[in-house]
Amino acid sequence: MASPVGEDNWVDYVDHQLREATDLEARVRVIESFNDAVSAEPGSIKVWMAYCEYFWSLYNDCQPVSDAGWSPEEQEVGRSIFTIDAALNLWQRGYEAVQYRLSDSNELWDRWISLEMELLRRTVTEAGVRRITQLFRNRLTVPHATWDRTSQMFSTFLSEYNRQAYESEMEQITRSAKNAKRLYALRDPFETKLSLAVKSGDTAAVRAEMLEYIDWEIKQHKGKRDALDNFKICLGLFSRALTGVLASDDTTWLNFITLVSTSQSDLKAGRARVSANLVPNMLDVLRRAVHHIPWAGPVWARYILAAEEAALTFADVERIKHAATNSPQLDRDGMTGVLDMYSAWCGYLKRTAMNPKASEEAVDVAEVGLSSALEDVKHWGQRKYGENYQGDPDYRLEKILIQFLTEKKEDIEGARAIWDELSQIPLHANSYDFWLNWYLWEMVVFTAHRAKLRSPTPNTQAQGLLVPSLATRVFTRALKVRTLDWPERILQVYLKHCNDYELAETLREAHDTIYKTRKGVEKRREREARQAAEAARQAAAAREQAAPADRSEDVPMTDASGSASPGSKRKREPTPAEDDAANKRPRSETNGDDVKRDREHNTVFLRNLPADATQTKIKQFFRDYGHVNNIDLKKGDDDAVALVEFRHSDDARAALIRDGKPFGDRIIQVTPAIDCTLFVTNYPPDADEEYLRNLFKAHGEIHSIRFPSLKENVKRRFCYLTFRERASAEAALKLDGKALGGRCRLVVKISDPAHKQHRQGAQEEERELHVINIPRTMKEDEVEGHFTKAGKVVSVRIPHLGTAFVVMQTKEEAQEAIKLLDKAMFGQHPIKVEPSMPKGTKKKTATAWGGAEDAESPASTAAESTVSSGGGGGAARDRKVVILGVPDTMNEARVGNLLKPAGEFVKLTLHARHGGAIVEYKDAASAGKAQLVIDGLEVEAGQKLRVGTTEELFQSKGEKKVAGSDPCARPEPEKQRKKPPTAAQLMPPPPSINRPQVLGRSKPKMGMGTGAPGLGVRTNGVALVGPKKSNADFRSLFLGGGNNGGGGEGGGKVEEEKTKENGSKE
């Protein structure tokens, strides 16, 4: 008997039956059918309603007062079967099954409770009142749509039967139902939308709403809060969906199955938040599922799996499989469903046979079953698709059979025959993946075989070197296939294999084959690239026509092996000369290196790297593709992206071949990084990385920002900003010319060394003259008057007495001036006039003036004041703080910003070459405070500022930033010894003793009271040999010192032990 599917069909089916039921026996059969129906559709309110109503009517009918026309005997028997208890029980069961259907569970409930109340009305008993009160209580703690009505009913009920308890009862109910109301309120929007959709009669809308609701509900289920209620409601929703509009929706069923199965595994793992009896039985669920959606292969597969897990007998599982194959709809959506089902079945067979305890019979059954499954699938496919059927692209069944044959039956030849057969099918033969799988299998077989051979006969030498020739044969066969989709990969593995395992002769042959094939492949690739380029050109042309403004042209980079394919090289179009922004570009002459080092074209992006990737690993990964100049690795939460720079652009192009290769456990992407980098300049001087990131982040993800070193020229103010995507870089060009706070107009260009521009200005145009030895009394206008003899003077500058820079109108006039005025007398002096040359070194220091007022400063810096006492700021020396460890990419404005927390300074001089700065403060006390703040202040991750002495500053070379290492490498101690540090002003000139510095020193810092081992200690002229103090000594030192350390603020004085310098002093 084919059972109906879906609630409507069930109701119709039983309805039909009950109309014909005229005697007691038939009625009992109807009840049985109803039982079947509710087990098939346990969540269906329709079925339950029909069932309960029918049972109730039967109960009524068999009462003596009934006029249903039953014979008295039937009534007699009926009364014993259809009792009032059974009927009420049934209502209860029905209610429990559907109570979490938020929207419509009230239909059943209302009917039930009205019956109950009617019963009570007939005979009011204490117990009856209590029972109904209890029912109401339960009902009101379950969220449902008509809560208010239920509550209303309850209140009526109470006032009728139990007036004295009314107040307390209602209060209690309201409290305990708070949660239910809240849960329902959360779902109210969905319910409203759903009911609207239902009213409009639009089935598609109802489905859409329902799906959305289910998605939301599943998400709720994950939350910790109200786990139990959410789970129940979720189940209720699913039963609504699966008995209603979505009854034959694959996704919803799969959602449901996954939910149930996860909850079950949760149960097993003991981390379930719901109790075991709530989770429906997996097998039941799946049985219902395959009834509703018999075409869904995955569901069948799960069904078989669940049956296996539940340890059903073989016959039962086989019955499921037969049910599946007999279902006419299994191939409704093509062969996928069939294949899914069959692979689950074969997997089951295999596992039964592989089980070490499996009987001989099971193995036989499995073997027969596997091969017949294979046959069945083939026939099925041919029946459906005729000759065009190509088999499973993943050859899952074959894989299982091969594994079974290899491992259980040890029928290597049989398994190999299957591989062979598979390779006849062009679908597989074209896939490199297939060949590699075969190869791996052969190697496994070979290894197992060798291990077996080795144990009984240790002397394998007699048989010659064992080689996996069969594995080698796989490659030779693979390479014969002309249409292989990725021959490069096969070649790569082939070569490696031959190197590793094969005899010299075979290796040589392999080399030959590889060489020949590679040539063939290259030709083929070239052809393909041409075609691709042709297609791309056409596409581009089409796009050009569509949008002529869009000039960014995406020529796809083929990942062909380094072969230069004409279409894939990007032609750079020269951009129109920029005229206005040109002279603002602070390019330095060191850019000459940049042309040699063409970062822009030698760089590739590496994406989806594992998070633990290191520079070394990446370098190794590209070992065969050329020299890696630089790696810029940025780590994300669970992956990393690296920018890898090669020495040559050819290398970079070759490296693109590694796209899609595994790196660790990830498949990485390699993409060219051409045109991802912007040259940005003319931003505000104090702009730091964060500022620029904020400025540009709207256009895409920024990989890195590279600032130039300021060592050679502190005035440099530009940076290279690399985006992750080329499109972002192009989008960011919009910011070119943007005005940023005041005078700065941002310059943004795609970085390209070919577009380098030289500085322009009087000096570059050779119009500037350098005049030396002019009389000290001469002012600018007098010099100008003197030079007017040679031509028109544009400007005169006298930076310091005796020297002037004169800018003439033209180059010729400047030359004329040299001829005329050089070595001629000017006033009393013979002056020297020469073309002004760019300084060999650019400006190395930069000065910023801080906000702190101090008129004394310039004077006091120029002249070393010798008197320290008296008012004012004190000795300049005391007011200065020397900072070391400033990154060489930071300009003075940024350092100034960095020092803000340490208080306002008067003057800041940045010595980029030495990686430091000298900051002057208002007075010594603020300098000391600043020192305390600055020492150890973090600039960038891992890089800390430190306070030192002027000597240290000028001896240090400026730090090269090395990520991860300690950037504050200390200068060599030997060097420090050379200069005895200048002592404070009152101190007599120090005797010529070499004295290692004690504080701000280069040696590992020593704690209080310790001395350098082995050095003589002399206190007050008496030399002592101080052994290194242990912690115990140290403690006694403290305690013996009269408890003055622990006093804190006691007595108004904080006492502090002063560092003993006995060790390091002479």
Partner 1 sequence: MLFFSFFKTLIDHEVTVELKNDIRIRGVLKSVDQYLNIKLDNIQVVDELKYPHLSAVKNVFIRGSVVRYVHLPSQSVDIDLLEDATRREAANQAVKAK
Instruction: Name the residues that contact partner 1, by CB under 8 A.
Output: 868-869, 874-875, 878, 923-925, 927-929, 931-933, 935-937, 944, 946-949, 966, 981, 983-987, 997-1000, 1004-1005, 1019-1020, 1044, 1049, 1052-1062, 1065
Q: Please report how close the Cβ of residue 909 comes to partner 1 at its closest, in angstroms.
A: 19
429 or 884: whose CB is closer to partner 1?
884
784 or 878: whose CB is closer to partner 1?
878
Q: Please report how close the Cβ of residue 856 comes to partner 1 at its closest, in angstroms.
A: 16
Q: Please report how close the Cβ of residue 949 comes to partner 1 at its closest, in angstroms.
A: 6
187 or 1060: whose CB is closer to partner 1?
1060
Rounded CA gap, 437 and 428, in Å? 11
Q: Please report how close the Cβ of residue 853 comes to partner 1 at its closest, in angstroms.
A: 18
Residues in the chain: 1066
Rounded CA gap, 231 and 274, in Å? 7
Q: What is the CA radius of gyration of the chain?
A: 45
77 or 933: whose CB is closer to partner 1?
933
Q: Please report how close the Cβ of residue 992 comes to partner 1 at its closest, in angstroms.
A: 17
Structure tokens at 70: 């039953």
465 or 941: whose CB is closer to partner 1?
941
Range 286-321 burial, b when 16+ CB lie within 10 A, else e: bbbbbbbbbbbbbbbbbbbbbbbeeebebeebbebb
CB 747 within 8 A of CB 585: yes
Rounded CA gap, 812 and 816, in Å? 6
747 or 947: whose CB is closer to partner 1?
947
Q: Please report how close the Cβ of residue 1035 comes to partner 1 at its closest, in angstroms.
A: 18
Q: Please report how close the Cβ of residue 947 comes to partner 1 at its closest, in angstroms.
A: 5
Q: Which residues contact 578 (CB under 8 A, 6 or more apart)?
A: 749, 757
Q: What are φ and ψ of residue 438, in 5° steps?
A: -60, -45
Q: What are φ and ψ of residue 667, in 5° steps?
A: -95, 120
574 or 1048: whose CB is closer to partner 1?
1048
706 or 929: whose CB is closer to partner 1?
929
**Quick check: helix, strand or coil at residue 334?**
coil
Q: Please report how close the Cβ of residue 973 comes to partner 1 at its closest, in angstroms.
A: 14
Rounded CA gap, 671 and 568, in Å? 13
Q: Between β-strands 946-948 and 1016-1019, what pairing exists: parallel, antiparallel or unpaired?
A: unpaired
Q: Please report how close the Cβ of residue 977 comes to partner 1 at its closest, in angstroms.
A: 15
Which amino acid, 585?
Answer: R
Q: Which residues contact 478 (CB under 8 A, 6 or more apart)?
A: 432, 435, 484, 490, 494
932 or 1025: whose CB is closer to partner 1?
932
Q: Please report how close the Cβ of residue 395 comes to partner 1 at its closest, in angstroms.
A: 56
Among the residues of 270-411, which ranges form H helices?
Answer: 282-292, 297-309, 314-326, 335-354, 360-385, 396-404
**Quick check: helix, strand or coil at residue 723?**
strand
Enclosing H/E stretch for 68: none
User: Would you list the DSSP string of 110-157?
Assistant: HHHHHHHHHHHHHS--HHHHHHHHHHHHHHHTS--TTHHHHHHHHHHH
Q: Please report how close the Cβ of residue 984 comes to partner 1 at its closest, in angstroms.
A: 4
Q: Please report how close the Cβ of residue 861 comes to partner 1 at its closest, in angstroms.
A: 17
CB 832 within 8 A of CB 804: no
Rounded CA gap, 117 and 129, in Å? 9
Distances (CA, A) of 518 to 472, 521, 524: 17, 5, 9
CA 804 to the chain's CA centroid? 60
189 or 936: whose CB is closer to partner 1?
936
456 or 964: whose CB is closer to partner 1?
964
Task: Work out the widest C-alpha separation in the chain, in whole angstroms.
Answer: 151
- Scanning the structure block, which residue is given the tokens 């020529």? 555
227 or 933: whose CB is closer to partner 1?
933
Q: Please report how close the Cβ of residue 1039 comes to partner 1 at its closest, in angstroms.
A: 15
Of residues 756, 766, 759, 826, the one with CA closest to residue 798: 826
Rounded CA gap, 141 and 696, in Å? 54
43 or 1063: whose CB is closer to partner 1?
1063
CA-based end-to-end distance of the chain: 110
Task: Return the bridge partners of 640, or none.
Answer: 609, 635
Q: Please report how close the Cβ of residue 937 comes to partner 1 at its closest, in angstroms.
A: 8
492 or 931: whose CB is closer to partner 1?
931
Categorise residue 592: left if φ over 0, alpha if ψ from -120 to 50, beta otherwise: alpha
Q: Please report how close the Cβ of residue 888 comes to partner 1 at its closest, in angstroms.
A: 21
403 or 1062: whose CB is closer to partner 1?
1062
Structure tokens at 898: 């960095």
